[in-house]
Amino acid sequence: MRRLTVPSIAQRKKNGETENPIVMLTAYTARQAQLLDQHCDMLLVGDSLGQVIYGLSSTIPVTLEMMANHGAAVVRGSYHAVVVVDMPFGSYEGSPEKAFESASWLMKQSGAAAVKLEGGVAMAETVRFLSARGIPVMGHVGLTPQAVNALGGYGARGRSEAEARKIIEDASALEDAGAFAIVLEGVVEPIAIEVTREIGCPIIGIGASPCCDGQVLVTEDMLGMFDRVPRFVKRYGDMGAMITEAAQTYAEEVRERSFPGADQLYQPKPD
Ligand code: KIV
Ligand code: NA
């Protein structure tokens, strides 16, 4: 099977394929990518790996090198889904030229087909610059975690009239600049419905609305790896409990010398 392409994703909304929502999950490792690949249209190597993989308290310290390494692993582990890599904080905001340098390096190192960056009106010029130079860009508006210090937290956006207007303006600016799709995170539902209706490129919701053109979640969140998750996460599994239970049983068997058992042992060849 050939890998899906960025234009085929972008085209779905233009074709009015509302019965065919875009399925996206995060992936950071090759094995995880292998397991998710055939179920997803896109895999996102999110900078959420800062918290999920590296135990950081925000995405701010995440580096281009981290994104490139995990991006390459996810590309190696998948053959079907479009792989999108997040541009980390500080690697693109300075200027369109700086963003091009970072994004092109990320694509060469990882083999990913597209990058994602946060911000709306302020990033439109950069999105236009990259899109015109062969780099497909996914936007990200609403709750933008790299702006946590400016926003003052991870609360939902769009509750006030001014915030709601800003989100629509941001999404519209990205569409005009050539973004092939936009992640819309943590916004009140009526705004998500309005953005999805008004904007011509696919809107991928997370904490947004089932009316969006697609959905994305952090895989470890939906697998139940963390005790504390945002309201918008639904748990589709309980991997945290599975891992704890397996480790506990292993530890017991090692301590009582019942592991390794006969099935796991090598015996000398009989003479
Ligand atoms: O980093 C990430 O995982 C993301 C998604 C939550 C959209 O940006
Ligand atoms: Na991200």
Radius of gyration of the chain measured on its C-alpha atoms: 21
- The response to whether 227 counts as a known ligand-binding position is no
Which of the ligands is closest to the CA of residue 148?
Answer: 2
Q: How far is CA 56 from the centre of its chain?
A: 17
- The response to whether 253 counts as a known ligand-binding position is no
Strands 114-116 and 181-185: unpaired
Q: How far apart are CA 214 and CA 154, in angstroms?
A: 22
Mutate to test the pocket of ligand 1, among 36, 116, 216, 229 (most ligand atoms within 8 A of CB): 216
Classify residue 218: in a domain, yes or no: yes
Instruction: For residue 141, give Cα distances in angstroms to 31, 62, 85, 169, 221.
Output: 30, 19, 16, 10, 20
| Closest C-alpha to ligand 1, atom 1 | 46
Handedness of CA 246, 251, 256, 261 (dihedral sign): positive
Ligand 1 centroid, distance to 260 Cα (angstroms) = 41
Helix H or strand E segment including 137: strand 137-142
Mean pLDDT, contiguous 10-residue spans, the chain (271 residues): 93 92 98 98 98 98 98 98 98 98 98 98 98 98 96 93 97 98 98 98 98 98 95 97 98 98 95 81
> Is residue 8 a contact partner of residue 42, using CB atoms and an 8 Å limit?
no
Which of the ligands is closest to the CA of residue 52?
Answer: 1
Give the CATH number, domain containing residue 26.
Answer: 3.20.20.60
Handedness of CA 30, 36, 117, 124 (dihedral sign): positive
Classify residue 265: in a domain, yes or no: no
Closest ligand 1 atom to the C-alpha of 59?
1
Q: How far apart are CA 106 and CA 114, in angstroms?
A: 9
Classify residue 263: in a domain, yes or no: no
Classify residue 268: in a domain, yes or no: no
Classify residue 269: in a domain, yes or no: no
Classify residue 267: in a domain, yes or no: no
Ligand 2 centroid, distance to 100 Cα (angstroms) = 18
Tens digit of pLDDT for each residue in 126-148? 999 999 999 999 999 999 999 99
Classify residue 264: in a domain, yes or no: no
Tens digit of pLDDT for each residue in 54-106? 999 999 999 999 999 999 999 999 999 999 999 999 999 999 999 999 999 99
Domain limits for position 31: 6-258
Domains in the chain: how many in total? 1
Burial label, 97 (beta-carbon count in 10 A; 0-12, 13-18, 19+): exposed
Classify residue 270: in a domain, yes or no: no
pTM to 2 decimals? Answer: 0.97
- What value of ipTM does the predicted structure carry? 0.99
- The response to whether 47 counts as a known ligand-binding position is yes
